[in-house]
Chains A and B, each alone.
Chain A
Amino acid sequence: MALLSGKRSKQEEEKLSAGLEKTRSSLFGKLNRLVRGKDTVDADVLDDLEGILVTSDVGVKTTVDIIRRVEERVANDKYVSTRELQSLIRDEISHLMLDHAPDRPADFDAPLVNQPHVIMVVGVNGVGKTTSIGKIAHRYKEAGKLVILGAADTFRAAATEQLQIWGERADVEVIKQGQGSDPAAVAFDTLAAANNRNADVVIIDTAGRLHTKGGLMDELSKIKRVMDRQVDGAPHEVLLVLDASTGQNAIRQAEEFTRSVDVTGLILTKLDGTAKGGIAIGISNEFMIPVKYIGVGEQIDDLQVFDRESFVKALFD
Chain B
Amino acid sequence: MFDNLSEKLEGALKSITGKGRIDELNIAETIREIRRALLDADVNYQVAREVTERIKDETVGQKVLSSVSPGQQLIKIVYDELVDLLGTNQEPIQFSQKPPTVILVAGLQGSGKTTFCSKLALHLKSQGKSPMLAAADVYRPAAVDQLETLAASIDVPVFSIRKDGNVVKDAVNVAREAVTAARKATRDVLIVDTAGRMHVDEEMMHEVEAIRDSISPDEILFVVDSMTGQDAVNTAKEFNDRLNFDGVVLTKLDGDTRGGAALSIRSVVQKPIKFASTGEKLEALSAFYPDRMAQRILGMGDVVSFVEKAQEQFDEKQAEKLRKKISTEKFDLEDFYDQLQRIKKMGPMKDLVGMIPGIGRKLNDLEVDEDAFKHIEAIIQSMTTDERSRPEIINGSRRKRIAAGSGVEVRDVNQLLKQFKDMRKMMKTMTKMLGKGRGIDPSTFLSPN
Contacts and interface: CB of A to CB of B under 8 A. Distances in A.
Interface of A: 2-3, 6-8, 11-14, 16, 19-20, 23-24, 51, 54-57, 59-60, 124-128, 155-159, 161-162, 164-166, 179, 210-215, 217, 243, 245-250, 252, 256, 259, 270, 272-276, 279, 298
Nearest to A58: B230
A206 to B, nearest CB: 14
Given A16-B50, A298-B109, A57 B229 contact: yes
Contacts of A23: 45-46
Interface in B234-286: 234-235, 237, 252, 254-258, 260-261, 267-268, 280
24 contacts: A11-B49, A55-B230, A125-B112, A126-B112, A128-B109, A157-B146, A157-B149, A161-B141, A161-B145, A164-B142, A211-B360, A214-B350, A214-B353, A214-B354, A215-B348, A243-B225, A245-B229, A246-B227, A247-B261, A248-B42, A256-B361, A270-B110, A273-B108, A276-B231
Contacts of A13: 53
Interface stretch (B32-40, B172-180, B383-391): B32-40
Contacts of B42: 57, 247-249
B228 A246 contact: yes
Given A16-B267, A54-B230, A273-B199, 11 more contacts: A12-B53, A57-B230, A59-B40, A162-B143, A214-B353, A245-B232, A246-B229, A247-B229, A270-B198, A272-B198, A273-B198
B41 interface: yes
Interface string B136-152: 00011111011011100
Contact of B31 (A6, A128, A256, A279): A6
B44 interface: yes
Listed residue (A23, A159, A256) with the most chain B CB atoms within 10 angstroms of its CB: A23
Interface in B325-359: 348, 350-351, 353-355
Contacts of A250: 227, 229
B253 to A, nearest CB: 10
Closest 6 CB pairs of A and B: A247-B229, A126-B110, A247-B42, A19-B46, A157-B149, A165-B141
B45 A213 contact: no
A158 B233 contact: no
A212 B32 contact: no
A125 B235 contact: no
B255 A211 contact: yes
A252 B259 CA distance: 13
B136 to A, nearest CB: 16
Nearest to A166: B141
B-side interface size class: 35 or more
Contact of A2 (B35, B200, B348): B35
A275 B231 contact: yes
B252 A125 contact: yes
Contact of A6 (B29, B49, B112, B260): B29
Interface of B: 24, 28-29, 31-32, 35-36, 39-42, 44-47, 49-50, 53, 108-112, 139-143, 145-146, 148-150, 153, 198-201, 225, 227-235, 237, 252, 254-258, 260-261, 267-268, 280, 348, 350-351, 353-355, 360-361, 364
Given A20-B268, A124-B252, A256-B361, A54 B110 contact: no
A246 B39 CA distance: 13
B255 A249 contact: yes
A8 B52 CA distance: 11
Contacts of A55: 44-46, 230
Contact of A274 (B148, B225, B231, B350): B231
Nearest to B259: A249
Contacts of A243: 110, 225, 227
B81 to A, nearest CB: 15
A245 B198 CA distance: 11
A249 B258 contact: yes
Contacts of A215: 348, 350-351
Contacts of A60: 36, 39-40
A217 B255 contact: no
A159 to B, nearest CB: 8
A8 B25 CA distance: 10
B258 A248 contact: yes
A126 B225 CA distance: 9
A19 B49 contact: yes
A29 to B, nearest CB: 18
A16 B227 contact: no
A313 B253 CA distance: 33
A210 B225 CA distance: 12
Contact of A158 (B31, B149, B268): B149
A19 B225 CA distance: 23
Contact of B47 (A7, A16, A246, A298): A16
Contacts of B28: 6-8
A247 B227 contact: yes
B46 A275 contact: no
A248 B229 contact: yes
Contact of A245 (B108, B150, B254): B108
B107 to A, nearest CB: 10
Listed residue (B148, B227, B228) with the most chain A CB atoms within 10 angstroms of its CB: B227
Contacts of A14: 46
A12 B257 contact: no
Contacts of A166: 141
A124 B142 contact: no
Contact of B355 (A16, A155, A161, A212): A212
A249 B227 contact: yes
A275 B229 contact: yes
Contacts of A270: 108-110, 198
A287 to B, nearest CB: 14
Nearest to B24: A8
Contact of B36 (A3, A24, A246, A275): A3
Nearest to A126: B110
Contacts of A273: 108, 198-200, 231, 235
